[in-house]
Structure formats: structure tokens, C-alpha cells
Structure 1
Amino acid sequence: MGAAVIRAIRNFNLENRAEREISKMKPSPAPRYPSTKSLLREQTRSHPHIKGEIDRKDDKLLSLLKDVYVDSKDPVSSVKVKDAGIPQEAKEFRLPKGHHFDLNIENIPKGKISIVEALTLLNNHKLYPDTWTAKKIAEEYHLEQKDVNALLKYFVTFEVKVFPPEDKKAIQSE
């Protein structure tokens, strides 16, 4: 609602306001310093032909200007580039685990896990801590042992706890 009101106010009488702004007198140049003003006046009095030279277009210079072609190239950087002979380490990837693959994820770098995998392994560890130990999780998902230990220590999955009402008059559910 507010945008429509603002738009209506902004567009009100737009053509007249634009025409009024365009028809205004253009700003005059800034005043010259008094000592410079007197020197300029003196020069124009002593050399009246200079005023005509300033206003006249020089066809020779214009034709030379039309012939100018500028071609620019980036300068060669002086920074040394790493030796191309040394190949980069190839990253190892693995396929995502589980039945609910994210369509955007085709492969995951070793040492990393997706959000879905993190929630799955946390839930598995919570439900079956004897089966899903930190060592087995590290092997299964190609993670480091210390990272898995920190993950299991500091992160837990969402859990809902319902506390019984303390009021004795509360209706007991059957």
C-alpha cells in the first residue's frame, strides 16, 4: 500500500517538472581569482585574435583525431607464476552415503560430509552407540578420528522431551 502512494507522489506532474528543470539556465562557471581575471583581460586586449582562435575548430586536427586508433592490452605482470611442471594434488572424492541423495551433490571430497550424512550418523550413534562407534564412523565416511570424536561430543540431534504436568488436576492421557 505504501509503495503505491509513494509511486503516485513521485510520478505526479512528472513531465512539467522535467520540462521546468531542463529549461532552467545552465550554471555559469565559477568566478575567477581577481588577479587572474585582470591578467586575462589584459591578454585579450593585447591579442584580440586569440579569442577567435579559441572558438575556431581546426579541421586538420579533427581529421588527425579521427585517424587515431587505440588498442590496449593488459601489461604482463612481473609476478612469477608457479612452475607449471609441478602437478597439483588430485583431490579424492566419494559418493554420498544413504538413501536420500541430494540432487545437487554428485560427489563429496574425502574428509567432508554433507548435512544429511551428518544428521544420519549422529542419529545412528545416538540409537546404536555400540554399533556406530567413532572409529566405525571415521572409516565409513572417510573422516579423521579426532573430527568424529569432536562431532559426537559437541553435536546432538533434535530431541523432543515431554514433561508430565506437575498439577495433579491435569487430565491423564490414556
Structure 2
Amino acid sequence: MGIVTSKIVKTAKTYNVTERAQKVISKQKPTPAPSYPSTAKQIEIADQIDPQFMDNHYKQDPVFQDRLKQIFVTSNVQFANDQQKSEKSLPQNTKGSKEWDYGFWEPEKAQEGKVLLKDALKFMADNITDPELNNAKTIAKQYKLNQKDVENILEYYRVFHIIVTPEEARPGYIQPPKFAQFLGKNSSK
């Protein structure tokens, strides 16, 4: 039912649109927008003081028009040439912000109970190098963290390592043909 009513309403709105638009456009004097009550009061006061004020206000005064025609503006400003540019070189980096260590901004100091990424990487590396000296208890005390959280971080998180295996060792690897095989030549030469 909603589709039917929306189609009916749409056809009623768009009926004879071009003629209605042409009628509004062809008016000699467009309908003015409604004015604020304060503006209407100001117009009434101006009419009480001088009834001809609005007529005089919108008339062009020929004396003023003649004066405007006599005014000429001349400028003596010299534009800077390429040769007059300063000797100082412009900055090469146009980004406007500095590069950060890990690709995003980190504060100088972390809140209590929280740790920065660089500190987490540091204590994970310290734990790997000397697990007895840098155990979860000492790290939790040093960084003011929960010991259980530190134990979980040390157990489940690792720093990324990229291990590239030789192409021949990969499963499903097929040796690509040599260029000479495309030409029909024997590649054993």
C-alpha cells in the first residue's frame, strides 16, 4: 500500500512542473522572502521619520555616479620575480608531521597499569635473552603491571620474524620454464 501512495504523491508533485516553474520565473517582481519582526519595525520607524526614505535609498544619485566615474586606482606595487626570491632553500619534507618509530604516535609516558609498545617489545626481548633475571614478577614490578598480564604477554606474544623459505622447498612449487624454451631452443647448451 505504501508503494502505491508514494507513486500517487510523486505524480501529483511532478504534475505540470515545467509550466509552474516557468510561471514563477517569468514574474516581473519576485516574491520577497519574509522579513524578521525587528526589520519590519525598523522599516515602520523609517517610514514615520521620512516617508520617502526607501525611495531615495534605492535611487541612484547622478552626482555620486559622476564622482565614481572620475575615480581611478593606480598601483605602484612591483610583483616579486623568480630572481628576487630568497636564497634560503625550502624544506624538502612537505608532510608537516614527523615520522614515528612504529608508524603511529606514542606518548612519552604510559599510565600506571599500561605499557607502551616499545616498552613491551623491550621487556619481551629482555625475557628472551635472560629469562631468570627478567621474569614476569620483576617485569611487572618494574613497569607497574599486573603479574598475570605480564605472564600472558610473555607466553602468547612474540616479535614478528620473517622466514623466507627457498622457492624449491615450498609445496606445489613448479619450476618456471626458461626463456630459451619459449624460443624452441635447447636450454641444455
TM (normalized to structure 2)? 0.32
TM, length-normalised to structure 1:
0.35
